[in-house]
Amino acid sequence: MPQTNGRTSRRDIYLKLRQMVLTLKLAPGAALSENELAASLGVSRTPVRESLILLAQEGLVQVFPKIGSFVSRVDPAQVADAQFLREAVELASLHDLPERLDPAVVEDLRANLNRQKCADLDLEEFFELDEAFHQGLMRLSGHGNVWTTVAAAKGHLDRARRLGLHENVSPAAFAAQHHEIFEAILGGDVPLAHTAMRTHLRAVFSDIERIRAHSPELFAGDTSTVPVRRNVVVWE
């Protein structure tokens, strides 16, 4: 039987499963088999089981006694909470920008925006550039370390954002919004940057409503509903 190599390997399994949930490789509502996950990752069931427990504590997995474990469906309420936190932090950082911006960070952000324009980017690559861009803006204000706290709290939000990226024909509109925010910051127009940032961050809410209209099974509804294992998993 495959074995893990202590604490580091167990954390690696947790991080791999978490990333699979966040990137939608494990889709919202999907049934989870410890045996299948262990086999696919080449490990024993123990680190998989422990990882699912940690993910359940984060609200990314649900465990139903005598039924099984499932990827949590995207919860709009948790998306709203994470969005509230992210917006508060990022908008506050705009009002804490120094008079002289760090030229190295500015150049990093320019390079990031240029990469966002590449036509051959896949959606996951764009998502990573998006994350780096927003973290870079936090670095401009001297609060880059806060991003770790924000990132840890936005699991449901990140899944909703990825669903939105898949729903849109191209991420070009998001890249254009990033450019608008960046140019407003360079021009010293904090009110414009603030307004553009708020509009940009809140786009996820319209994405949720549009996607939920045709794919309601991806989203949490009545919290009392539980899945039923038949030939196909059904939520009731």
Into how many domains does the chain fold? Answer: 2
Whether 108 and 96 map to the same domain: the answer is: yes
CATH code for the domain in which residue 153 is found: 1.20.120.530
Structural Rg of the chain based on CA atoms: 20
Whether 95 and 177 map to the same domain: the answer is: yes
Average pLDDT, rounded, for the chain:
90
Is the pLDDT reported for residue 191 higher than 70? yes
Report residue 2's pLDDT band, with 50, 70 and 90 as the boundaries. Answer: very low
Is the pLDDT reported for residue 222 higher than 60? no
Among residues 150, 162, 153, which one has the least CA distance to residue 89? 150
Whether 23 and 135 map to the same domain: the answer is: no
Report residue 3's pLDDT band, with 50, 70 and 90 as the boundaries. Answer: very low
Specify if 210 maps to a domain: yes
Whether 175 and 119 map to the same domain: the answer is: yes
Find the Cα–Cα–Cα–Cα dihedral 170, 173, 178, 181, rounded to 10°.
180
Whether 65 and 119 map to the same domain: the answer is: no
Specify if 166 maps to a domain: yes
Whether 87 and 175 map to the same domain: the answer is: yes
> What is the C-alpha to C-alpha distance for residues 170 and 168, in angstroms, rounded to an integer?
5
Is the pLDDT reported for residue 5 higher than 90? no
What tens digit of pLDDT does each residue of 103-127 get? Answer: 999 999 999 999 999 988 999 999 9
What tens digit of pLDDT does each residue of 139-179 get? Answer: 999 999 999 999 999 999 999 999 999 888 789 999 999 99
Whether 83 and 159 map to the same domain: the answer is: yes
What tens digit of pLDDT does each residue of 19-68 get? Answer: 999 999 999 999 999 999 999 999 999 999 999 999 999 999 998 888 89
Q: Which domain holds residue 172?
A: 76-214
Report residue 228's pLDDT band, with 50, 70 and 90 as the boundaries. Answer: low
> What is the Cα 142 distance to its own chain's centre?
23
Whether 202 and 155 map to the same domain: the answer is: yes
